[in-house]
């Protein structure tokens, strides 16, 4: 096997949660480009179907599943649907997430619970559902999408709930990696820096000074620029890697 062959995902069956927009969509397309059979899950049927149509125009077949992963029964049904549609599940990309910008004294209980329900609890339930299938079928790979917000305090906006939730994702990744290694299940996290998506308004003037000028590379990333990192984590090129947090942030966390 050549070095480049190790990055191939031919035949891999992969689920991307929150795969109908932003980073999740870029991950899904990059994984399909690398040869994987990809399913996406999201709450919006219309956005799901739009991704399916766009993928088809590029020569890829992506399966879309309508699912609300904050509901436990929906997580089980989603996992079953993916296994049925793809014939199994080799890789889970836990991408779905939410963020609120608000200083601590202004964060409502509803906002706090909403962030943790999706970013942590739903991710945990997806890990259990996919991990159970992987354990019974010889192994697999789980990629949790974390953030540099688990390592730093973003400014000028405060977002304590999001930061805490992503720190939890990183630590959960390590815990599962240690526990599930005997089952041949690798669990890693990917922590991007500032990437231009609807969730990260990198073009807004009030954020330029801190988000862009404080980045050593002095720019933000595009989703398709960071997506190959997820391809690497899903592939045999990272076969001796588990419990790690892969950072791609233009150097932001160096300061």
Catalytic residue positions? 162
Q: Exposed, middle or buried by CB within 10 Å (0-12, 13-18, 19+), for 52?
A: middle
Cα–Cα distance for residue pair 226/210, rounded to 1 Å: 20
Q: Which of 114, 140, 116 is nearest to 127 (CA)?
A: 140
For residue 81, report the phi and psi dihedrals to the nearest 5 degrees. Answer: -65, -40
Cα–Cα distance for residue pair 4/10, rounded to 1 Å: 12
> SS3 sequence, the chain?
CCCHHHHCCCCCEEEEECCCCHHHHHHHHHHHHCCCEEEEEECCHHHHHHHHHHHHHCCCCEEEEECCCCCHHHHHHHHHHHHHHHCCCCEEEECCCCCCCCCHHHCCHHHHHHHHHHHHHHHHHHHHHHHHHHHHCCCEEEEEECCHHHCCCCCCCCCHHHHHHHHHHHHHHHHHHHHHHHHCEEEEEEEECCECECCECCCCHHHHHHHHCCCCCCCCECHHHHHHHHHHHHCHHHCCCCCCEEEECCCHHHC
């Amino acid at each position: 096997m050549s070095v480049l062959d190790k990055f191939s995902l031919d035949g891999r069956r992969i689920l991307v949660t929150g795969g109908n927009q932003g980073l999740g969509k870029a991950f899904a397309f990059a994984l399909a480009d690398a040869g994987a059979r990809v399913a996406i899950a999201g709450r919006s049927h219309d956005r799901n179907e739009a991704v399916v149509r766009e993928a088809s125009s590029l020569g890829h077949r992506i399966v879309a599943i309508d699912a609300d992963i904050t509901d436990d029964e929906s997580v089980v049904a989603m996992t079953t649907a993916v296994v049925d549609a793809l014939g199994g599940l080799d890789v889970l990309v836990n991408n779905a997430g939410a963020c609120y910008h608000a200083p601590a004294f202004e964060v409502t209980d509803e906002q706090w619970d909403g962030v943790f329900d999706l970013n942590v609890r739903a991710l945990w339930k997806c890990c259990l559902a996919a991990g159970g299938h992987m354990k019974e079928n010889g192994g697999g790979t789980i990629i949790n999408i974390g953030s540099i917000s688990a390592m730093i305090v973003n400014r000028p906006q405060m977002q304590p709930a999001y930061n805490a939730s992503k720190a939890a994702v990183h630590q959960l990744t390590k815990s599962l990696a240690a526990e599930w290694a005997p089952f041949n299940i690798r669990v890693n996290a990917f922590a991007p820096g500032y990437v231009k998506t609807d969730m990260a308004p990198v073009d807004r003037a009030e954020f330029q000074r801190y988000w862009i000028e404080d980045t050593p590379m002095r720019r933000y990333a595009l989703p398709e620029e960071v997506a190959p990192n997820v391809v690497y984590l899903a592939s045999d090129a990272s076969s001796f890697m588990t419990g790690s947090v892969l950072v791609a942030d233009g150097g932001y966390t160096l300061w």
